Amino acid sequence: MLLSFSNPRDRDQAWYERPWHVQGDLFAIEPWRPHFDPFLETIKWVDVWIRIPRFPLELNSSEPIRRLLRLNNIGELVRLDPNSVERFRVKFARAVITVDVTRPFIRLMTAPRGNGLADHYLVWFEDFPKGCGCCGSDDHMTA
């Protein structure tokens, strides 16, 4: 599908407010590029919402999350949920990231603490759920 915007503000909003869903399905968007042929292209990158349950408040900002996503080869940070930034949700961090859908999703993130110690955090992909969105566990989930 090709979308054209006559108003640059509308175009920018469509881009910066991603990801979008159409009839419940994730809608992958890319900026226009010359010679684009939708029948020959393969979708490799999509933007998805993630949650990181029990993520510490002191790390819940753009740079620490960006660094940990790169360190763990999970994806690239697009933006944090404003509620995460304002610390309204203290149970989890929430962010939009760009992921490579041709590779398996990494659902565990390691955060080095120094002295050879590390903390581990579950990464929950909202569009590809597995487990509870608050704690990551599937022990109390029903089929």
Q: Which residues contact 99 (CB under 8 A, 6 or more apart)?
A: 45, 46, 47, 48, 74, 75, 105, 125
Q: How many CA atoms lie within 13 A of 141 on its CB side?
A: 12
Output the pTM of the full model: 0.77
Q: What is the pLDDT of residues 86-113, one digit of tens each?
A: 766 567 889 999 999 888 889 999 998 8
pLDDT tens track for 5-35: 888 888 888 778 788 777 777 777 777 788 8
**CA 12 from centre of chain:** 19
Residue among 96, 109, 104, 102 at smallest CA distance from 136: 109
